[in-house]
Structure 1
Amino acid sequence: MRSQVAAASLALTLAAFAIFAASAASATSASSASSRASAVVPLDTLLDRAAWYLDYFVDEFENVVAEERYVQDSTMPLPSFSPVGGGRGGGFPPPPSPSDAARARHRDLRSDFLLVKSPDTLALVPFRDVIDVDGVAIRDREARLANLFLSARGASVMEQAERIGAEGARYNLGNMRSTLGNPVLGLGVLQRTYQARFRFTLAKDDRASAAGVSVVEFKETSSPAMIRGEAGRDLMAHGRVWIDSATGRVTKTELQVEQPVIRASIVTTFRLEDRSGIGVPEEMREQYTFANGNRIATVATYGRFRRFDVNTTEDIRTPLGTLVDEWTGMTLVELPPGRFTMGSRSSEIGRNDDEAMHDVEITRPFLIGQYEVTQQEWRTVMGTAPSHFSACGSGCPVENVAFDDVQQFIAKLNAHVARSPESVALRQAQGDREQSGPVGSRQSPRYRLPTEAEWEYACRARTAGPFSTGENLTTAQANYNGKLPYASFPAGEFRQKPTPAGTFPLNPWGLGDMHGNVWEWTADWYAPYPEFSFANIDPHGPASGEKRVIRGGSWYFDANSARCGLRYTHAPQDKGFSLGFRVAADRVR
């Protein structure tokens, strides 16, 4: 059914792509107007970072559903279908007859908003399923879109989802079947495959935006256009995007299109989702101005972001597998490949000069210890008890071990696995189910220390602040010297010794004591971070050096030492009562 708006040639169709903006690890890179002016990033570099960033989230942010509240207002009454409450919403009712349509100026919709990867283009496609209209329930909340995509994939499923979306679109003011109302549409201009169709220029800084955010203007110049009008007519888009200069994260988009009878503007702002570290749409504002003088203004807000294919806790976290070494009792968590920003922003309190921000890519999954290696685990493998705090108990981390001692531990552990591969059990989370079984010789782990990059990737767990807990770390969250808190935060407890594994809450990837307790050896020799991007793909430290990198802080040191980005060193032969380690591993056949 067409509305007055559609009759005025508004029948805009979305391109068959949509990229959802998010950030696993993102931060601003300047702290004042002067630093903003002195750290101008070239346009080509900005666009490359933004494209790289968006590619990552096309892969990472599939099957996310949110609750959308979509408020629409018109200066003139428009034909608008009024719902009858109490329906189950399982079928596809016919369009309303003219007698069913009332004229309205205001509409308040609540919907499930879902992003699904297209089987044809591998891009993310948005769908809406209306839950209620002006407070009247359209259907029970059976999450039918989510259930539809969980049950099957392919073109037929996409068609069914499109039918669900078309059913809900009839409740828009004017019964508009298609609008520009897609909060992630403006991101598409930055996708690598689309950039060639646009002309980009650096614009003046927006003083209302955060430091380190650059504004880029764009204008579409080549067909086929990203947005099509009636009869497939190209509608050339133009507008602006706000890009974090250091990471490529998009904080705001503004997209405009015009044709003789209508002008449209869509502005979306994004916020950081604290638990997942993903940037999600916060608000979308649309403005449609028609030749007849009518204006439609909409405001959409988004909340309750969750993956519908993980579990019923509605948490965006990735389902992670675990591996249990039954000889030692160690549990390792398997982390997915991904990209993140390593280092710390220039405004971060306590930052050192060797913490330059740079993008890093981890291309393969790897395993890392859920906790630091304990005294009991060390004794099982080595038959010795080197810890200064032996009275702390078998569940406390082993400490007072040199780098070479750790290498001997790892060598013996690998030798045992080679002799008895059945001693390692794999438990792979799949939604709310779990599969268990022996790894065997087909997928045995090869133990090692984590690289410095892997360690920080695990510590951050897709968060972007000084700590995985945010802007502060309390002594209720980690074991450090509470007399020396971070920044201007209050002092806390100083326990004066290590604490047993599992004492404190886990980070978003289910890892314990990444902050504090004991320092942790990494595999890398210390050196400044490399300046070339190719060196930041699965990076390792230099081939030789004088000191090894240690990470994480300890019970004896201040909160600042426990920051995700802080680097510290020790010579390989050094030992100490606050220096331990956790293992990493790779699967080998």
Structure 2
Amino acid sequence: MRHMLVRMTLLCLFMASGEVAHAAESGSQADTLDQQMVLVSAGKFTRGSNHADDEKPARRIYLNAFYMDKYEVTVGQYARYLKVTDMEEPPDWSIMNQPQHQRRPVVNVTWEDAVNYCKWAGKRLPTEAEWEKAARGTDARIYPWGNEAPTRLHANFGRKDWDDHQALTPVGSFEAGKSPYGIYDMAGNAWEWVFDWYGNQFYKKGPEKNPIGPAKGDTKVVRGGSWLYVPEFLRTSFRFNADPSGQQFGYGFRCAKTP
């Protein structure tokens, strides 16, 4: 009996130490991701294209320098935020917040959820113009990696089934799909909320230096396409809009920061 009690005690200690190690590892990964931002230097780039009316005109505009998250915000990072702040969990959180999903993008979040997380992290949502420059660089490329049509080596797109968060891939999975600044998943995986209200004529009348969308509107801009969408939606200049209160399977975000 004594030997059995000793063995059970040792087993409990082993399991507890494993849980602590896993928690420490998850926390360490989240810390590492938080620290990985990329500097996008000040200067001009080509915003827009001639593909769709709301992308016209293609124009050289100037942006101040800013930092952009190298990766989309993950489930693991968002779980830590919820624990610290006691904010409301997004829909299907019990399905999302599983060990196998910790490095996948968090989704089902509203625009305000994204704003609040970035503020808590000492950051902010990028403007639409900042997002586009971080995705395409200064050479007006069609996709973050260049002008080559998307393949399964570049991005996560064109899937049919959500499959309880399995449709999303862990952030940073597509080395060939990086932007010119080394930023991952700016095409596919999850749509990304940006700061701006959507205006379909804004490019035609907006300022050419540090533009921020219309002062008001009904929908917010999301960028980058998602796991569900076809290649057309993955273009760096493609604009999409959504109800800011919507909580969709494909809507996530990343943060930016002013130097």
Percent identical: 34
Task: State the partner residue of 2:132.
Answer: 456
CA distance in 2, matches of 1:373, 1:465: 25
For residue 334 of structure 1, give the secondary structure of its aligned residue in structure 2: strand
Kindly indicate whether the alpha-carbon contact (under 8 Å) linking 2:39 and 2:67 is maintained by their aligned counterparts in 1. Answer: yes
CA distance in 2, matches of 1:577, 1:569: 15
CA distance in 2, matches of 1:406, 1:532: 28
Residues 328 and 511 of structure 1, relative CA distance in 2, 3 Å threshold: closer
CA distance in 2, matches of 1:559, 1:542: 28
Cα shift readout 1:420-451 (whole Å, capped 9, x = no counterpart): xxxxxxxxxxxxxxxxxxxxxxxxxxx11011
CA distance in 2, matches of 1:500, 1:330: 17
> TM-score, normalised to structure 1's length?
0.35
CA distance in 1, matches of 2:121, 2:166: 31
For residue 448 of structure 1, give the secondary structure of its aligned residue in structure 2: coil
2:151 counterpart letter in structure 1:
T
Task: State the partner residue of 1:364.
Answer: 64
Cα shift readout 1:167-204 (whole Å, capped 9, x = no counterpart): xxxxxxxxxxxxxxxxxxxxxxxxxxxxxxxxxxxxxx
Cα distance, 1:560 vs structure 2: 0.9
Residues 343 and 577 of structure 1, relative CA distance in 2, 3 Å threshold: same
Q: In the alignment, is residue 572 of structure 1 matched against residue 248 of structure 2? A: no
Kindly indicate whether the alpha-carbon contact (under 8 Å) linking 2:107 and 2:248 is maintained by their aligned counterparts in 1. Answer: yes
Task: State the partner residue of 1:481.
Answer: 158
1:357 counterpart letter in structure 2:
P
For residue 376 of structure 1, give the secondary structure of its aligned residue in structure 2: helix
For residue 354 of structure 1, give the secondary structure of its aligned residue in structure 2: helix
Task: State the partner residue of 1:410.
Answer: 118
2:139 counterpart letter in structure 1:
T
1:465 counterpart letter in structure 2:
R
CA distance in 2, matches of 1:574, 1:379: 20
Task: State the partner residue of 1:341.
Answer: 46
Q: In the alignment, is residue 401 of structure 1 matched against residue 109 of structure 2? A: yes
CA distance in 1, matches of 2:218, 2:157: 27
CA distance in 1, matches of 2:217, 2:250: 23
Kindly indicate whether the alpha-carbon contact (under 8 Å) linking 1:325 and 1:331 is maintained by their aligned counterparts in 2. Answer: no
Cα distance, 1:407 vs structure 2: 1.9
Kindly indicate whether the alpha-carbon contact (under 8 Å) linking 2:55 and 2:203 is maintained by their aligned counterparts in 1. Answer: no
For residue 246 of structure 2, give the secondary structure of its aligned residue in structure 1: coil
Q: In the alignment, is residue 582 of structure 1 matched against residue 258 of structure 2? A: no
Cα distance, 1:363 vs structure 2: 3.7
> TM-score, normalised to structure 2's length?
0.76
Structure 2: which 5+ runs fail to align? 1-28
Task: State the partner residue of 1:525.
Answer: 197
Cα distance, 1:353 vs structure 2: 1.6
Cα distance, 1:496 vs structure 2: 6.5
Residue 75 of structure 2, aligned match among 360, 369, 375:
375
2:180 counterpart letter in structure 1:
P
Kindly indicate whether the alpha-carbon contact (under 8 Å) linking 2:107 and 2:251 is maintained by their aligned counterparts in 1. Answer: yes
Q: Which has the higher strand share?
A: 1
Task: State the partner residue of 1:314.
Answer: none
Task: State the partner residue of 1:438.
Answer: none
Kindly indicate whether the alpha-carbon contact (under 8 Å) linking 2:75 and 2:96 is maintained by their aligned counterparts in 1. Answer: no
Q: In the alignment, is residue 543 of structure 1 matched against residue 215 of structure 2? A: yes
Residues 496-511 of structure 1: matches in 2 within 5 Å?
A: 497-505=167-175, 506-511=178-183
For residue 53 of structure 2, give the secondary structure of its aligned residue in structure 1: coil
Q: How many residues align?
A: 215
CA distance in 2, matches of 1:482, 1:412: 33
1:329 counterpart letter in structure 2:
D
Cα distance, 1:360 vs structure 2: 3.9
Residues 359 and 375 of structure 1, relative CA distance in 2, 3 Å threshold: same
For residue 126 of structure 2, give the secondary structure of its aligned residue in structure 1: coil
Kindly indicate whether the alpha-carbon contact (under 8 Å) linking 1:341 and 1:359 is maintained by their aligned counterparts in 2. Answer: yes
Residues 103-502 of structure 1: matches in 2 within 5 Å?
A: 326=31, 329-345=34-50, 351-383=51-83, 386=90, 387=93, 389-391=96-98, 392-414=100-122, 447-468=123-144, 469-481=146-158, 497-502=167-172
CA distance in 1, matches of 2:214, 2:30: 31
Give the RMSD, CA atoms, in angstroms. Answer: 2.4
Kindly indicate whether the alpha-carbon contact (under 8 Å) linking 1:328 and 1:381 is maintained by their aligned counterparts in 2. Answer: no
For residue 382 of structure 1, give the secondary structure of its aligned residue in structure 2: helix
2:109 counterpart letter in structure 1:
V
Residues 526 and 510 of structure 1, relative CA distance in 2, 3 Å threshold: same
Cα distance, 1:571 vs structure 2: 1.0
Structure 1: which 5+ runs fail to align? 1-323, 346-350, 415-446, 484-494
Cα distance, 1:325 vs structure 2: 8.8
For residue 78 of structure 2, give the secondary structure of its aligned residue in structure 1: helix
Cα shift readout 1:74-117 (whole Å, capped 9, x = no counterpart): xxxxxxxxxxxxxxxxxxxxxxxxxxxxxxxxxxxxxxxxxxxx
Residues 400 and 544 of structure 1, relative CA distance in 2, 3 Å threshold: same
CA distance in 2, matches of 1:342, 1:582: 20
Cα distance, 1:482 vs structure 2: 6.1
CA distance in 2, matches of 1:374, 1:482: 20
Kindly indicate whether the alpha-carbon contact (under 8 Å) linking 1:341 and 1:357 is maintained by their aligned counterparts in 2. Answer: no
For residue 172 of structure 2, give the secondary structure of its aligned residue in structure 1: coil
Kindly indicate whether the alpha-carbon contact (under 8 Å) linking 2:57 and 2:204 is maintained by their aligned counterparts in 1. Answer: no
**More moved, 374-383 vs 328-337:** 328-337
Residues 562 and 496 of structure 1, relative CA distance in 2, 3 Å threshold: farther
Cα distance, 1:404 vs structure 2: 1.2
Structure with the bigger RCO (C-alpha within 8 Å, sep 6+) is: 2
Q: Which has the higher helix share?
A: 2
CA distance in 1, matches of 2:232, 2:195: 22
For residue 181 of structure 2, give the secondary structure of its aligned residue in structure 1: coil
Task: State the partner residue of 1:284.
Answer: none
CA distance in 1, matches of 2:120, 2:234: 30
CA distance in 2, matches of 1:513, 1:502: 7
Kindly indicate whether the alpha-carbon contact (under 8 Å) linking 2:63 and 2:130 is maintained by their aligned counterparts in 1. Answer: no
Kindly indicate whether the alpha-carbon contact (under 8 Å) linking 2:73 and 2:105 is maintained by their aligned counterparts in 1. Answer: yes
Q: Pick the structure with greater CA Rg.
A: 1
Kindly indicate whether the alpha-carbon contact (under 8 Å) linking 1:363 and 1:538 is maintained by their aligned counterparts in 2. Answer: yes
